[in-house]
Amino acid sequence: MAELDLDRAEAGFQRTTDGTVGIEEEFAILDPESLDLVPAFEELFEAATGDELLGEHVAGELITSEIEIKSKAGDDFGDAVADQRRARAALFALADERGYRLGSTGTHPWADYREQFFIDTEHYRRVTDELQYVARRNNTFALHVHVGISGADRAVRVCDRLRPVLPTLLAASVNSPFLEGHDSGLLSARTQTFTRSFPRCGIPDAFGSWKAYREYLELLIATGSIVEATQVWWSIRPHLVFGTVEVRICDAQMTAEESEGLAGLIVACVLQAARDEDEGRPLPEVPPRLIEENLWRAIRWGDEGELIDFEGGRSRPARDAVEELQEWTAGVRSEWSIDSELPERTGARRQLDGFQAGESLRDVYASSVAQTGKSYGGDAPTEDFE
């Protein structure tokens, strides 16, 4: 299979240009009245395939009540965002025309995973057959960002450098406090459901080189652990087909403004890590158990909690850690014209504000779906963050 041709993958990284960007956003397909999940992916996909604007922008993600919109490989961040805005607007118009709404939180607040259907392809049959309950339970929605990094060795080391950063990015993105009709007590129930359950998922080890990463993949292939490259679900990974560093840690975002700001910060972090690598700055050596501690803190408290400052050996507000990422990447953001504005309150906190004020779960979700439709359905941001 082409995806497991590691020689081809290595050559692909050599042809990659730094700073190309791809954005992937996952949405729930909803009944407009009940806001329940609706298994309408095939209908929308078939309609989108024949649409000149949507074309290859639409993809599936495991369950038939979920749809993904993905940009082309943009020459830079601004190019990818412009393309994504056009495709989003077309997808939302198509959904509306067909009588559906689209939601964008990391989990659906009350859906029963046992009532969902799976996309009938060889890939997803393999996933569900192998993972069983783990796959069936995974009704989640995420933001994925690809950044072109030239050189396979370099891409692996950029991933290594960003391992300690991933919990901070998650803390900035939390948008899934509700699950199966309950307040989960977590700000990213999606991460607990997916990242901590799937095999070969979460924050990977530091590999140090393409040779070491390739040996890892070769062992998985030789032992029958994987037959496709996409069965390696790490929260950051060198993408073997696209020649990118793919960051997969973040919840789907309620509004386009949030999604674009977060995507901008991710792109900037990848480019800054590549610069640090090129300039020979020391690689942070953080024990995996400490990164895991911060991952848990991000899942539980998001940006309202504290994260461990690995250099100082102390806890500090997660918002300070997010601000430090903005400061660390200020130079590349300026050079590449990247906007990484984030809201003062995450989607998770805004949902909880309403719920804790006495609103029903349906009313809270209806509000978020309304914000999503107004924001993603246009060609440009339409409202300020709350």
Q: Tell me: pLDDT of 383 over 60.
A: no
Q: Which of the four pLDDT bands, split at 50, 70 and 90, describes residue 372?
A: very high
Give yes or no for a contact between 82 and 154, defined as CB atoms under 8 angstroms apart.
no
Q: What phi, psi does 311 have (nearest 5°)?
A: -75, -40
The whole-angstrom separation of Cα 345 and Cα 360 is 20
Place 153 in a pLDDT band, splitting at 50, 70 and 90: very high
**pLDDT reported for residue 197:** 87
| pLDDT-above-70 percentage for the chain | 97
Query: How confident is the model at residue 386, as a pLDDT?
Result: 41
Tell me which amino acid residue 182 is. Answer: H
Q: Which residue is it, tokens 């993600």?
A: 61
Q: Domain residue spans in the chain?
A: 2-376
pLDDT digits (tens, 9 = 90+) for 277-298: 999 999 888 999 999 999 999 9
Tell me which residue of 374, 373, 346 sits closest to 35, measured CA to CA: 373
Model confidence over 301-355: pLDDT tens digits?
A: 999 999 999 988 999 999 999 999 999 999 999 999 999 999 999 999 999 999 9
Closest CA to 338 of 278, 270, 279: 270
Residue 355 in tokens: 């719920």
CB 193 within 8 A of CB 107: yes
Q: Flag whether pLDDT at 10 surpasses 80.
A: yes
> What residues contact residue 312 under an 8 Å CB cut-off, 6+ apart?
none
Distances from the Cα of 278 to the Cαs of 76, 224, 273, in angstroms? Answer: 20, 36, 9
> 123-147, pLDDT tens digit by residue?
888 888 888 888 888 899 999 999 9
Please, which pLDDT band fits residue 378 given cuts at 50, 70 and 90?
A: low
Write the pLDDT tens digit of every residue in 26-52: 999 999 999 999 999 999 999 998 888
The predicted structure's pLDDT at residue 127? 83
Is residue 333 within 8 Å of residue 78, measured between CB atoms? no
Mean pLDDT, range 51-61, rounded to an integer:
88
Does the pLDDT of residue 3 top 60, yes or no?
Answer: no
Give all strands (DSSP E) within 219-331, no chain letters. 233-234, 236-239, 244-251, 306-309, 314-317
| Dihedral over Cα of 50, 54, 55, 60: its sign | negative
- Report the Cα 197 to chain-centroid distance in Å: 16
- Report the candidate in 233, 263, 236 with the shortest Cα–Cα distance to residue 166: 236
> What pLDDT is attached to residue 254?
98
- Tell me how far apart the 2 most distant CA atoms of the chain are, in Å: 57
**Res 50: pLDDT:** 81
Strand locations in 11-92 (E): 21-30, 58-61, 63-70
H/E segment holding residue 275: helix 256-278
Q: Which long-range contacts (CB under 8 A, 24 or more apart) does 94-100 make?
A: 94/44, 94/47, 94/48, 94/51, 94/54, 95/29, 95/44, 96/377, 98/40, 98/43, 98/44, 98/47, 99/32, 100/29, 100/30, 100/31, 100/32, 100/38, 100/40, 100/44
Q: What would the pLDDT profile of 204-258 be if each residue is shown by its tens digit? A: 999 999 999 999 999 999 999 998 888 999 999 999 999 999 999 999 999 999 9
Q: Which pLDDT score is estimated for 357? A: 97
* Protein fold of 2-376: Creatine Kinase; Chain A, domain 2 (3.30.590)
